[in-house]
Amino acid sequence: MIWNPTKECMSREQMRELQGKRLHKIVEYVYHNVPFYRNRLQEMDLSPSDIRSIDDIVKLPFTTKKDLRDNYPFGLQAAPQSEIIRIHASSGTTGNPTIVGYTRKDISIWSECMARSLTAYGVGRNDTFSVSYGYGLFTGGLGAHNGVETVGASVVPASTGNTEKHARLIRDLGITGIACTPSYALYLAETMDKLGITKDQIRLRVGAFGAEPWTENMRKEIQDRLCLKGFNLYGLSEIMGPSVSYECDEQNGSHINEDHFFPEIIDPVTLEPLPDGQTGELVFTTLTKEGMPVLRYRTRDLCSLLPGECPCGRTNVRMSAIAGRTDDMLIIRGINVFPSQVESVVLTMKEFAPVYMLIVDRINNLDTLMVQVELRPDFFNATLDTPAAIEELEKRFADKLRSVLSINAKVQIKAPGSIERSQGKSAHVIDNRKLK
Amino acid sequence: MRIKQLSIFIENQSGTLIKVLELMKRSNIQMIACTIADTAEYGIFRIICSEPDRACAALKEAGVAVAISEVFAIEMTDRPGGAADAVKAFSDAGIGITYMYAFLLDGKGIMIIRTDETEKARELIKSQGLPYLCEKDFVR
């Protein structure tokens, strides 16, 4: 099923034309309503009349997270306060949080985009769908919630926390779909095991997972343990929230709602646009947003665009899975290391639980990397009952890591349950180099 | 001929040993002998106890990495050289010993031997008539 075939299956020429018209309009709108953008455009000798087609987008200035922080709280808001009906804030782990105000039309477009996503996952009015993103300032909870109501399924606003109660509700209410972070899905599976809730007692069918990067191996594990088909749901509050892009039944890249959010891929160092298929930093321009529109916002997410027809019938461009974050990237002895690479190796080892921690340090001016993993109780057996056997397991894991990361990592095997589980965005790195 | 031993993975830090021992206590399991093979970061805690299957289930339930391994329990003669005689029999037969430890039970010296060459060890114990203990000898 396709929620909005007119927009999701538009011909490429029609889409480019629509995007061009909308871009011109949004540039004119911010020029007249946001002093920050007016100054930027004037500094570059640009006026809205210079933006005639979507190809002109490369002339426009970028917007960064720092710009949003520097203009805290309402500096980039374009609509008058009387038109704003909701305010969200992104997590401000460093410095000011980012404040995003939405007009009634913004919320309506967001609900539409979320409905497109859920429909692509196969969710409809007969489903009972639990939203287990945090409800509150974070866009995940309420964003997904509105979409579930829009498609007409019964929404269970479970939010995060109280996982045992949630696990029982999944069983008792016959919940068929769930939206949460992939690490929370695994935590939920562990909780169900602990409570003795078995696969034949649950009716889960669809999972919408996002808000943190995940891998194919993780997908296989979640699908197997929760008996559902797991789909990627991508979004960020600076652009809208969840449903900027969504996977279809093919599970091969996420379709971008590009009539509302125009994507580009750039080289994060030179800022030059990269051709389709190449991995670089994802950049979005909001084409229809009223509350807080942004031009060429640098997401710091690394991925590539996958053009071409999709067997599902949708023509909107797909983006690959997120390969990492420009700011998650660790540079260890000059080599780029992404936590997601370590995760992919951990998930190939059946002896380990799907959790890990990277500890980076600098000893005698040399960077060191230690990877901690946790033994899985079910896979601990009599053949592992000597230090030599554990060392052998460590070595096997270290060899696999080296072939993926191209650097040596020290491996430490920990007892079950000793690495902290995340309920939101996973924190997998301790970089002690920053403290010195 | 073999008896069941618990093998437990524990981290080398305070609080991990007592956690396992408290769980055993709560399940009313009596420990008969134990040993730890330790490294700087972790250890393998090996335990001979009453009701090893029930003990293993209780520990697993609590999320402990525990497995049951099968070992031989050989009774040594109570005189100097008793241990040497027992090990020599294995050594002469070319059977590799992965690890061993010993303790006293009801006044008898017992040697626990873990080997990967189970069949050869069985043959040896039978042919040499080495006195060995069975599971029922550890019931308390």
pLDDT in tens, A327-365: 777 888 877 787 878 888 998 999 999 889 999 998 888
CB contact under 8 A, B67 and A384: yes
Interface ipTM: 0.88
Q: What is the pLDDT of chain A when averaged over all its residues?
A: 93
pLDDT given for residue B90 in this prediction:
95
Beta carbons within 8 Å of B38's beta carbon, 6+ residues apart? A387, B12, B44
Residues B30 and B89 in one domain: no
CA–CA distance, A134 with B124 (Å, rounded to integer) = 64
The CATH number assigned to the domain holding B134 equals 3.30.2130.10
Q: Are residues B103 and B85 both part of a single domain?
A: yes
**Which domain range does residue B116 map to?**
71-138
Answer yes or no: do B64 and A416 touch at CB < 8 A.
Answer: yes
B77 and B58 both lie in a single domain: no
Pair A101, A292: CB distance under 8 Å: yes
Model-wide pTM > 0.90: no
Domain identity same for B18 and B39: yes
Q: Is residue B59 domain-shared with residue B88, that is, in the same domain?
A: no
Which tokens sit at A351?
A: 């002896």
Residue B16 near chain A (CB below 8 Å):
yes
Q: Single out the residue in B41, B70, B99 at which a domain terminates.
A: B70
What is the pLDDT at residue A212?
A: 81
Whether residues A416 and B46 touch (CB distance < 8 A) is answered with: no
Q: Of A175-179, A271-275, A277-281, which range is least confident? A: A277-281
End-to-end CA distance of chain B: 19
B39·A386 Cβ contact <8 A:
no
Please tell me whether residues B133 and B84 are part of one structural domain.
yes
> Do B9 and B54 reside in the same domain of the chain?
yes
Pick from B46, B70, B94: which residue ends a domain? Answer: B70
* Euclidean distance between CA atoms A178 and A210, whole angstroms: 11
pLDDT tens, residue by residue, B11-55:
998 999 999 999 999 999 999 999 999 999 999 999 999 999 999
pLDDT at A94: 56
Chain A hits for B41, CB-CB cut-off 8 Å, are 412-413
> Does one domain contain both B66 and B12?
yes
| Type of residue numbered A124 | G
Residues B128 and B77 in one domain: yes
Query: Chain B partners of A382 at a C-beta cutoff of 8 Å?
Result: 7, 67-70
Q: Is B12 on the interface with A (CB under 8 A)?
A: no
Distance CA A183, CA A371 (A): 18
Q: Is B112 on the interface with A (CB under 8 A)?
A: no
Query: Last residue of some domain: B40, B70, B100?
Result: B70
At residue A93 the predicted structure's pLDDT band, cuts being 50, 70 and 90, is: low
Chain A interface includes B37 (CB < 8 A): yes
Chain B contact set for A413 (CB, 8 A): 9, 41-42
Q: Do A415 and B98 touch (CB under 8 A)?
A: no
Q: What is the mean pLDDT of residues A74-80?
A: 97
The better pLDDT of the pair A2, A333 is held by: A2
Domain count across chain B: 2
- Which of A190, A381, A385, A418 to mutate to probe the B interface, most B CBs <10 Å? A385
A196 touches chain B (CB under 8 A): no
Q: Are residues B62 and B13 in the same domain?
A: yes
**How confident is the model over A406-420, as a mean pLDDT?**
92
Residue B36 sits in the same domain as residue B55: yes
Specify whether B6 is located in the same domain as B62: yes
Q: How far apart are CA A230 and CA A177, in angstroms?
A: 10
Helix, strand, coil in percent for chain B, rounding step 5: 35, 35, 30
Per residue in A389-406, pLDDT (tens digit) is: 999 999 999 999 999 888
